[in-house]
Amino acid sequence: MAVFTMTTGHNDFYYSNKYEDDEYEYRHVHVTKEVAKLIPKNRLMSETEWRSLGIQQSPGWVHYMIHGPERHVLLFRRPLPNKSGVSGGKNAAQPQDWCGTNLKDFISAEE
């Protein structure tokens, strides 16, 4: 059982601890319900967009997935450093389809 502690950041957002797999480091950010209303419903956000909402993270994080049932939880990832100490590859800063599925599958149909 994984236990995540959350830290309070700017605007009472909650930032999860980081976790990783073989390729990426992940974290999720809980935003306020008011800010959640400003999140685009049908696409991922660019770094400029999520920073304009008040989310503060170090460079390299990409908004990579929308979870329809909890739109106030934003999922981020960034490539793990490779053995040469350089982060990412040719697609490091680009949002990717999650597990090859269509983005609309993660957007609630009730919206």
Among 61-65, 68-72, 98-102, top mean pLDDT goes to 61-65
20 within domain boundaries:
yes
Structure tokens at 73: 């939880």
The verdict on pTM exceeding 0.75 is no
Q: Is the pLDDT of residue 41 over 60?
A: yes
| C-alpha span between 27 and 20 (Å, rounded) | 9
Whether residue 111 is contained in a domain is answered as no
Q: Based on the structure, what is the number of domains in the chain?
A: 1
Q: Say how far apart CA 23 and CA 26 lie, in whole Å.
A: 10
Tell me the C-alpha distance between 96 and 100, whole Å.
8
- Tell me if 23 is assigned to some domain: yes
Report if residue 55 sits inside a domain.
yes
* CATH number of the domain residue 31 falls in: 3.30.170.10
Task: Decide if 1 is inside a domain.
Answer: no
Please give the C-alpha separations between residue 65 and each of 1, 85, 87, 97, in angstroms, as whole numbers. Answer: 23, 26, 20, 8
Asked if the structure places residue 80 within a domain, the reply is yes
pLDDT (tens digit, 9 = 90+) per residue, 14-34?
A: 999 999 999 999 999 999 999
- Write out pLDDT tens, residues 68-81: 889 999 999 999 98
Per-residue pLDDT band at 96 (split at 50, 70, 90): very low
Residue % of the chain over a pLDDT of 70: 64
Give the structural domain span for 36: 6-106
Chain CA centroid to CA 3, Å: 19
CB atoms within 10 A of CB 83: 5
